[in-house]
C-alpha cells in the first residue's frame, strides 16, 4: 500500500496567521496615533468658531486644549467675520518715505497687490489680529506694528514709514435702505499707529 503524502497545512496556516497578526499589530502602532491626531485636529477646527462669544464656559475652556496648536498651524479662524454678527474690519495704511525724498502710499491688505485671493486673505487676517489686540495686548500690538513697518521699509527701500489703522464699520439695515454706500467716509475711522525709522530696526 502506498502512503498518501501529507502537506504541513497546519504549519502553513499558523505561519500565515502569525504573519497577519504581526502585520496588523505593526499597522496599529501608527494607525492609532494618526487617528487620535486627526480626531484632535477636527475637534480643534470645530471648537475654534464655536468658542467665539457668545459661547458657553465649557466651549471656551475646551479651546484651551487646542488653542496653542491652532495658533501654531495658523488655523485659529473663528469665522466671526461671516456670521451671525460680523464686526468691523481693520486695514493698515502706510506712507513710506524713500531716500530720494519721494513718498509711497499703500495699504495692507491690498487686493491689487496680494494675489491670489488667498494671499490677500492671509494679509487681511494679520491686520484683523492687529485690530483685535487693541489696548488689551499692548506689547504684542507694538511688536506687530514694528514688524509691519520693517517689512514695508524692506520692500520699498524706505528710510521711514508712518502707519495708520483704519477701522471700517459695517452699516446697519437703515443705512442700506436709505441708499448709502458701504464706502461712505462716515464708516471709516483712522487712528495713527506710529512713525518708524529704518535705522531703529
Classified as helix, coil or strand, 99 is coil
Q: Is the pLDDT of residue 86 over 70?
A: yes
What cell numbers appear for 75 in the block?
A: 488655523
At residue 166, what are phi and psi to the nearest 5 degrees? -115, 120
* Nearest one of 162, 167, 136 to 148, comparing CA atoms: 162
Please give the pLDDT value at position 80.
62
d(C-alpha 158, C-alpha 150), whole Å: 9
Q: Is the pLDDT of residue 137 over 90?
A: no
The pLDDT mean for the chain works out to 85
Prediction pTM value: 0.63
- End-to-end alpha-carbon separation of the chain, Å? 100
Question: What does the pLDDT look like over 3-20, one tens digit per residue?
Answer: 555 555 555 555 655 565
Question: What does the pLDDT look like over 41-75, one tens digit per residue?
Answer: 999 988 988 887 777 889 888 989 998 998 888 78
Amino acid at each position: 500500500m502506498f502512503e498518501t503524502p501529507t502537506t504541513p497545512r497546519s504549519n502553513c496556516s499558523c505561519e500565515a496567521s502569525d504573519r497577519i497578526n504581526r502585520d496588523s499589530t505593526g499597522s496599529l502602532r501608527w494607525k492609532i496615533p494618526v487617528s487620535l491626531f486627526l480626531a484632535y485636529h477636527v475637534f480643534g477646527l470645530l471648537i475654534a468658531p464655536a468658542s467665539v462669544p457668545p459661547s458657553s464656559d465649557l466651549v471656551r475652556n475646551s479651546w484651551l486644549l487646542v488653542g496653542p496648536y491652532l495658533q501654531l498651524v495658523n488655523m485659529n479662524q473663528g469665522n466671526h467675520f461671516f456670521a451671525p454678527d460680523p464686526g468691523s474690519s481693520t486695514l493698515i495704511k502706510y506712507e513710506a518715505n524713500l531716500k530720494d525724498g519721494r513718498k509711497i502710499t499703500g495699504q495692507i491688505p491690498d487686493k491689487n497687490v496680494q494675489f491670489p485671493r488667498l494671499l490677500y486673505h492671509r494679509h487681511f487676517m494679520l491686520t484683523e489680529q492687529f485690530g483685535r489686540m487693541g489696548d488689551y495686548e499692548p506689547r504684542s500690538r507694538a511688536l506687530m506694528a514694528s514688524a509691519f513697518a520693517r517689512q514695508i521699509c524692506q520692500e520699498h527701500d524706505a528710510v521711514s514709514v508712518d502707519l495708520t489703522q483704519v477701522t471700517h464699520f459695517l452699516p446697519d439695515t437703515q443705512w442700506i435702505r436709505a441708499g448709502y454706500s458701504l464706502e461712505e467716509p462716515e464708516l471709516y475711522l483712522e487712528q495713527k499707529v506710529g512713525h518708524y525709522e529704518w535705522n531703529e530696526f
